[in-house]
């Protein structure tokens, strides 16, 4: 095979590979929007994380293409051939300082992106005017982040092997047996800021509903906090997640759902759940009495 032939063949091969890659990426992009980015949509904190992710992705893509491009170019261009004399270069101080500073500048840019987006992700939004009106107005509380004004709903999330428990209470440290509670499926009102206080009861777990933002570990002895606010157009939708920290053999089955209801439907659910719990309590009390009678 003549050298020119092999050269052309290599070039065709490289082009074919590149075309195949582009085709795969494009078809995959059509197939799923979540091939390249975290889930988002219903809640502003998740959306802001998604935006921040895409900002980093853009910078990372430039770096990736630039450096991989240099590597592949060098590999094709500087193959050993007859008559090629390798350049005996030992370094170039100016160039080396240049790319050190360059790398640092890229990181400063990423840092600025992060600090701009951070408050909107970390600090809860204010509930919308059409949100749930039966929530809590928080008096100054330095231990956690709450919306700067207006009402919001607080839910205590407790992870235990292998189920999530939700208690609807403004203050999770008070052991309030009167509060409404539920397991696995969390019902929340739309257009309302929901703050979560997250605990672990036995081992470490991690709360995560991908579409509603990041994960927060539930570690025994510590309280973790996060929030979300589901927009009104998602009323009736259910968002699935699961425990994200290894917690034992049932880890894979420790699922959680968040169901978004309109504030009216939520109020109805809350009343129904309260009644159900009360009925269950009453019947349990009756059973206890029955059992006590049988004991001589």
Partner 1 sequence: MAATVSAPSAKPIPQVAAHEARREGQGWTSWITTTDHKRIGIMYMVLTFAFFILGGTEALMMRLQLSQADNTLLTPQTYNELFTMHGSTMVFLFIVPFWAGVANYFVPLMIGARDMAFPKLNALSFWLLAAGGVVFYGALFFSPPECGWTCYAPLNETAYLPSHGVDAWIFLIHLTGISSLVGAINLYATIVNMRAPGMGWGRVPLFIWGILIYAILLILALPVIAGAVTMLLTDRHFGTHFFDTANGGSALLWQHLFWFFGHPEVYIIVLPGFGVISEVLPVFTRKPIFGYKAVAASTIVIAFLSMLVWAHHMFATPSHTVVLVFFMLSSFLIAVPTGVKIFNWTATLWRGAIEFKTSLLFAVGFLGTFLMGGITGIFLAVFPVDWQLTDTYFVVAHMHYVLVGGAVFAAFSGIYYWFPKMTGRMLSEGLGKLSFWLILVGFHVTFLIQHSLGLDGMPRRVYEYPDVGHLELYNMISTVGSFILGIGVLVTVVNVARSVKVGTLAGPDPWKANTLEWFTSSPPPVNNFDVIPRIRSVEPMKDIRRQVARESGLGQASPAPVAESAVRT
Q: How far apart are CA 144 and CA 155, in angstroms?
A: 13
One of 16, 58, 116, 246 touching partner 1 (CB under 8 A): 246
Q: How far apart are CA 2 and CA 81, in angstroms?
A: 13
One of 180, 247, 260, 261 touching partner 1 (CB under 8 A): 247
Which residues in the 9-68 window bind partner 1 by CB under 8 A?
A: 31-32, 34-39, 46, 48-49, 52-53, 56-57, 60, 63-64, 67-68
Q: Would you call 38 exposed, middle or buried from its count of C-beta atoms within 10 A (0-12, 13-18, 19+)?
A: middle
Give the residue with the Cβ less far from partner 1, 76 or 183: 76
CB 161 within 8 A of CB 248: yes
Give the residue with the Cβ less far from partner 1, 163 or 203: 203
Q: How far apart are CA 200 and CA 245, in angstroms?
A: 11
One of 194, 241, 263, 266 touching partner 1 (CB under 8 A): 241
Q: How far apart are CA 49 and CA 216, in angstroms?
A: 14
Q: What is the DSSP letter of 245?
A: S
Give the residue with the Cβ less far from partner 1, 12 or 63: 63
The distance of closest approach from Cβ of residue 111 to partner 1 in the complex, given in angstroms and rounded to an integer, is 7
CB 42 within 8 A of CB 239: yes
The answer to the question of residue 191 lying near partner 1 (CB under 8 A) is no
One of 1, 80, 139, 142 touching partner 1 (CB under 8 A): 80
The distance of closest approach from Cβ of residue 22 to partner 1 in the complex, given in angstroms and rounded to an integer, is 15
Which residues in the 204-233 window bind partner 1 by CB under 8 A?
A: 204, 206, 208, 210, 213-217, 219-225
One of 202, 265, 267, 274 touching partner 1 (CB under 8 A): 202
Give the residue with the Cβ less far from partner 1, 149 or 253: 253
The answer to the question of residue 279 lying near partner 1 (CB under 8 A) is no
Give the residue with the Cβ less far from partner 1, 46 or 230: 46
Q: What is the DSSP letter of 269?
A: H
The distance of closest approach from Cβ of residue 15 to partner 1 in the complex, given in angstroms and rounded to an integer, is 19
The distance of closest approach from Cβ of residue 241 to partner 1 in the complex, given in angstroms and rounded to an integer, is 7
From residue 12, alpha-carbon distances to 6, 8, 15, 18, 66 in Å are 10, 6, 5, 10, 22
**CA quadruple 277, 254, 227, 216: dihedral positive or negative?**
positive
Which residues in the 112-131 window bind partner 1 by CB under 8 A?
A: 114, 117-118, 121-122
The answer to the question of residue 70 lying near partner 1 (CB under 8 A) is yes
The distance of closest approach from Cβ of residue 154 to partner 1 in the complex, given in angstroms and rounded to an integer, is 16
Residue 293 phi, psi (nearest 5): -65, -35
The answer to the question of residue 89 lying near partner 1 (CB under 8 A) is yes
Site string for partner 1, 140-169 (x = CB under 8 A): ---------------------x--------
User: What Rg value do the Cα atoms of the chain yield, rounded?
Assistant: 28
One of 15, 107, 137, 271 touching partner 1 (CB under 8 A): 107
Under 8 Å CB-to-CB from 217, ≥6 apart: which residues? 198, 200, 204, 205, 206, 207, 224, 245
Q: How far apart are CA 229 and CA 33, in angstroms?
A: 22
């Amino acid at each position: 095979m003549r050298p020119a032939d092999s050269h052309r063949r290599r070039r065709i091969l490289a082009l074919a590979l590149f075309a195949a890659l582009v085709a795969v990426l494009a078809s995959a992009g059509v197939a799923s929007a979540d091939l390249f980015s975290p889930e988002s949509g219903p809640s502003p904190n998740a959306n802001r994380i998604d935006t921040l992710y895409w900002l980093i992705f853009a910078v990372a893509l430039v770096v990736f293409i630039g450096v991989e491009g240099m590597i592949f170019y060098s590999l094709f261009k500087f193959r050993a051939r007859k008559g090629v004399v390798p350049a005996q270069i030992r370094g170039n101080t100016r160039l080396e300082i240049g790319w050190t500073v360059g790398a640092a500048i890229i990181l400063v840019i990423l840092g600025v992106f992060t600090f701009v987006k951070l408050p909107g992700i970390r600090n809860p939004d204010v509930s919308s005017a059409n949100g749930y009106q039966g929530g809590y107005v928080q008096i100054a509380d330095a231990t956690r982040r709450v919306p700067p004004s207006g009402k919001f709903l607080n839910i205590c999330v407790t992870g235990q092997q292998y189920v999530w428990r939700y208690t609807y209470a403004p203050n999770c440290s008070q052991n309030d047996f009167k509060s409404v509670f539920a397991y696995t499926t969390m019902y929340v009102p739309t257009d309302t800021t929901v703050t979560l206080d997250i605990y672990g009861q036995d081992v470490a777990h991690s709360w995560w509903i991908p579409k509603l933002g990041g994960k927060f570990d539930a570690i025994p002895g510590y309280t973790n906090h996060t929030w979300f606010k589901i927009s009104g157009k998602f009323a009736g939708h259910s968002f699935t997640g699961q425990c994200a920290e290894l917690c034992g053999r049932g880890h894979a089955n420790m699922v959680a759902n968040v169901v978004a209801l309109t504030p009216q439907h939520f109020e109805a659910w809350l009343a129904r759940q309260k009644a159900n719990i009360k009925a269950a309590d009453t019947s349990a009390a009756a059973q206890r009495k029955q059992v006590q009678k049988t004991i001589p």
